[in-house]
Amino acid sequence: MASRLNPYITFAGDARQALEFYKEVFGGTLNLNTYAEFGQKDSPLADKIMHGMLEAPNGFTLMCADTPTDDHKPGNNISVSLSGDDDAELRG
């Protein structure tokens, strides 16, 4: 895999709805993982999204998650994810 740079957006509990909407808009493959799947079955966050990723056919990738705290601040909830193979080189 080549290096990939994409937005990562955190939500205050509605990441699933947002990702499903983006899938309708862009198409592609949607993968959702809940907090329950990662050992928090009895948590109030159990059905919330710990990590979600939409990969659209045009190469667009969007990652989203529900923030596990009350620290969600609209306007400060977007970061950038850089990913790729372990042996990939970044050139500037």
The pLDDT value given to residue 41: 86
pLDDT tens digits, one per residue of 10-54: 898 899 999 999 999 999 999 999 999 988 788 888 999 999 999
* Domain hosting residue 44, numbered range: 4-82
Mean pLDDT across the chain: 82
pLDDT of residue 73: 66
Name the pLDDT band for 88 (thresholds 50, 70, 90). Answer: very low
- Is 87 contained in some domain? no
Q: How many CB atoms lie within 10 A of CB 87?
A: 5
- Integer CA distances (angstroms), 51 to 26, 33, 48, 92, in order: 19, 5, 9, 29
Residue 83 tokens read as: 């990913």
Q: What is the CATH number of the domain that holds 10?
A: 3.10.180.10
Inside any domain, residue 66:
yes
